[in-house]
Amino acid sequence: MKFVKLYIRLINKLNKLVGLSVSVLMPVMVIILFLEVTARYVFKSPTIWTYDLSIFMFGYVGLLSGAYVHQIKGHVNVDIIYSKLTLRQKSIIDSVTGLLFFFFIILVILYSSENAIYAIENSETTATEWGPPIGHFKLMIPIGASLLLLQELANWLGNIYRAITNKELKL
């Protein structure tokens, strides 16, 4: 049980650190988009780099903060029936759906890793005028999915404990 608690604490800290770290990209992205709008409509001189850069930043935030959002249960949830269940019933349902999640996320990791490796090896670029390399961005998909996998494993272990004991796991 000590190993399980240690694992959950470490993964929670890792995903919180990553999630909060990439969140600083959102205000930077807003500033860049503000500069683009100003350049385009005030000075009639649009840039060629802000579109790609803002897509990259938004993607990094979405891909790398997903595990932290999953940790704090911030994703959208349909609570019509779920909210009426007991702690044990919720934990059993979450344990079963966790198995489906593992299957899906492992497929995402496998296929997106192949895609990222291909993009890096072939120096793939975006199809825009600026045309920056895109391999780094595609690499964030398996990295973000791996963080989600680690977080779901931590959540799943807690769910199994709750399903068996009907108590929260004290970390």
With residue 114 as reference, give the H or E element that holds it. helix 87-121
Average model confidence (pLDDT) across the chain: 95
Give the mean pLDDT of 123-134.
Answer: 96
Please give the angle made by the CA atoms of 36, 38 and 43, to the nearest 5 degrees.
Answer: 110
- For residue 1, pLDDT over 90 is answered with no
pLDDT of residue 150: 98
Report the 10 Å Cβ neighbour count for 154.
23
Quote the CA–CA distance of 60 and 47 in Å, as a whole number. 21
What confidence tens digit (pLDDT) does each residue in 33-61 have? 999 999 999 999 999 999 999 999 999 99
pLDDT of residue 75: 84
pLDDT of residue 114: 98
Q: Which two tokens stand for residue 71?
A: 């940790």
Give the mean pLDDT of 63-84.
Answer: 90
- For residue 98, pLDDT over 90 is answered with yes
- Lowest-confidence segment of 3-12, 36-45, 71-80, 152-161 by average pLDDT: 71-80
Q: Say if CB 29 and CB 57 are below 8 A apart.
A: yes
- For residue 30, pLDDT over 90 is answered with yes
Give the mean pLDDT of 107-127.
Answer: 98
Predicted structure pTM score: 0.92
